[in-house]
Structure 1
Amino acid sequence: MTKKIIRYILLGIGLYVILATLVIVFYQDDPASMNWRDRESFNNRFISKLDLKSATSIDLVFDKLGSPDLTFAKNSQDNTYQIVFYRTQHVKSDGITTQDECTGILFKNGILLAWGLGALATYENGAI
């Protein structure tokens, strides 16, 4: 009788390990389904891992972070500049997302150019 109980316990633990592993490996985070605190944290982690050397595309950012909270674009000479803002820090509980609650990510012709305070300054001053 005790051998049977031990088998069931080991079987249960084994199934749990398999299911947990499958969830960790195959489950993709969806920013749209996260609450605002989790989404801010997720956005912060993703943005902190950006690398200018890897030629990150705007499509990759949209795939990972979803729709931006704010976005602006302009043409300058033969180039298109787009700055997208993702909420990364809570400032005021008013139901409105503002630029001071976001981190900007600047793209030139769809390729990552800068992010953070430098991205906004570069975009506004036209120093591109």
Structure 2
Amino acid sequence: MNSKVIRLILLGLAVYGLFVFMVISFYPDKPENMDWQDREEYNKVQITKLRLGSTREEVLALLGSPDITEAKIHGGNTVQVMFYRTQHVRADGLTTLDECTPLLFENDHLIAWGEGAYQSYLQS
């Protein structure tokens, strides 16, 4: 009788372990579901993986929705800046431009990121 109980306990632990493994492996962590601290760290890591020429859709798939966005048409080209929060500055409950890394897109392709990208957008 004692060995049956032990077998059931071991079987239960094995099923539980398999369930935890499946959830961790197959349930993607979406940026929209993260708290702001985890989202900042996630954005920092993902921005390092970007490559110039990536499409806007690829970036959205990787980083999720931007915290702030701006756009304009300049010289027949669509220019868009998407801001992703990457550093905490003030505990005011708001996400501001100085807490974000800007990503600059021209005609839906990533052409630059960082503060210099945003300054070039403002000057054009």
TM-score with structure 2 setting the length: 0.86
> Per-residue CA shift, 1:58-113, capped at 9, x if unaligned?
12222333321111112222311101001111100112211110011111111111
Give the aligned partner of residue 100 of structure 1: 98
Give the aligned partner of residue 73 of structure 2: 75
Amino acid in structure 1 at the alignment position of 2:4: K
Q: Does 1:47 align with 2:44?
A: no
Bigger Cα displacement from structure 2, 84-93 vs 15-24: 15-24
Give the Cα separation in 2 of the matches to 1:40 and 1:95. 14
Q: Does 1:16 align with 2:16?
A: yes
Which stretches in structure 2 are left out of the alignment for 5+ residues? none
TM-score with structure 1 setting the length: 0.83
Structure 1 stretches of at least 4 aligned residues deviating more than 4 Å after TM superposition = none
User: What SS does the aligned partner of 1:46 have?
Assistant: helix
User: What SS does the aligned partner of 2:91 have?
Assistant: coil
Give the Cα separation in 2 of the matches to 1:59 and 1:118. 23
Amino acid in structure 1 at the alignment position of 2:87: Q
> Per-residue CA shift, 1:26-57, capped at 9, x if unaligned?
212222222111111111111121122xx322
Which stretches in structure 1 are left out of the alignment for 5+ residues? none
User: What SS does the aligned partner of 1:68 have?
Assistant: coil
Q: Does 1:37 align with 2:37?
A: yes
Give the Cα separation in 2 of the matches to 1:6 and 1:119. 63
CA RMSD of the aligned region, Å? 1.8
Give the aligned partner of residue 85 of structure 2: 87
Give the Cα separation in 2 of the matches to 1:45 and 1:118. 19
